[in-house]
Structure 1
Amino acid sequence: MTNHVFNRLICCLIFCFSTATFAENGLSKALTNNVSVTGQMSSEKFSQLMQQGFKSVVVNRPDEEDGNKVKVSELREIAERQHVSVIYQPVMSGKITQTDIHEFAKYYNELPKPILMVCRSGTRSSALFNQAKSQGLLHE
């Protein structure tokens, strides 16, 4: 096995392990100092995340999406006990529109930070954030 192939194999194993750990432990993933993303939500997990100092939450997962275990109204109730704002901005997985990007940027620029973004796996929220950032819409 060449060093190049070996190094790629090690990188793949590290990525797979870190992704599995993220999913198993239900941790959030920091994209910047101001924003983190998280996946599949439960009331217990959300309560734990609210203890980590987030000041705002943007929920990108539609309540009616298959497999969704907790509705935004439940998350809002938990967050309000911690004086944390919750914005419900559902976006369709793989179908983020320019309107979605501009709406998110408006929220991002107005909300207290750090912000936690919630969707099924974290991918949709990450894509929304990264698209708004790459378009220069976010004021840091």
Structure 2
Amino acid sequence: MDIRKIDDRLAAAPQIALEDLKAIAGLGYRSIISNRPDGEEPGQPDAAQVKAAAEAEGLTFRHIPVTGASMGPEAAAAMRAALDEMPGPILGFCRSGTRTTCLWGLANAGERPAGDLIETARAAGYDLSPLRPRLENGPA
């Protein structure tokens, strides 16, 4: 599994398989956030399947599906709430880990300097620089 630590609360990963959840729990993760819309790709487990498998391993689950076009203030607020409310550490996933990392950045916009968010994401292998204006001015 390609799990990349973003900060002390969140790591990002590409699509996980249902059978990965036992190992994810074994790594100490306590919560899972899915940022993939159901049906985005053939063969991808849907949110209900991931939720059931995650809960069977004792993990908390939340589904915040986004696309590039739907990554607005509501999605950022939902991600902020998940980061604040869910037991950590949290593993977020999408197709590549990029949307999870972008939502993390937008959820922290206004609380941390944009350059810090961009550099933190870059250290994990994700490029948030195209989001700089939104990171500086909030997720709108």
**TM-score, normalisation: structure 2:** 0.72
**1:105 aligned partner:** 80
* Match 1:93 to one of 47, 50, 68: 68
Runs of 4+ in structure 1 off by over 3 angstroms are: none
Query: What per-residue deviation string (whole Å, max 9, x for no partner) do you get for residues 100-134 of structure 1?
Result: 10111112111111011010000000000011112
* Match 2:35 to one of 60, 69, 82: 60
Shift of 1:68: 5.2
Which shifted more, 54-63 or 120-129? 54-63
Change (3 A) 1:82 1:66: closer
Shift of 1:94: 5.1
Amino acid at match of 1:61: R
Q: Distance in 1 between matches of 2:20 and 2:68?
A: 22
The answer to whether the Cα contact below 8 Å between 1:40 and 1:68 also exists between their aligned partners in 2 is no
**1:77 aligned partner:** 52
Change (3 A) 1:49 1:121: same
Change (3 A) 1:46 1:68: farther
Q: Distance in 1 between matches of 2:45 and 2:53?
A: 11
Shift of 1:69: 1.6
Q: Work out the percentage of aligned pairs sharing the same amino acid.
A: 23
Query: What per-residue deviation string (whole Å, max 9, x for no partner) do you get for residues 44-87 of structure 1?
Result: 23332222111111110011212452111221122112221100
Structure 1 residue runs of 5 or longer lacking an equivalent are 1-25
The answer to whether the Cα contact below 8 Å between 2:38 and 2:46 also exists between their aligned partners in 1 is yes
Q: Distance in 2 between matches of 1:125 and 1:30?
A: 12
**1:34 aligned partner:** 9
* Structure 1 vs Structure 2 CA RMSD: 1.8
Structure 2 residue runs of 5 or longer lacking an equivalent are 113-140
Shift of 1:40: 2.1
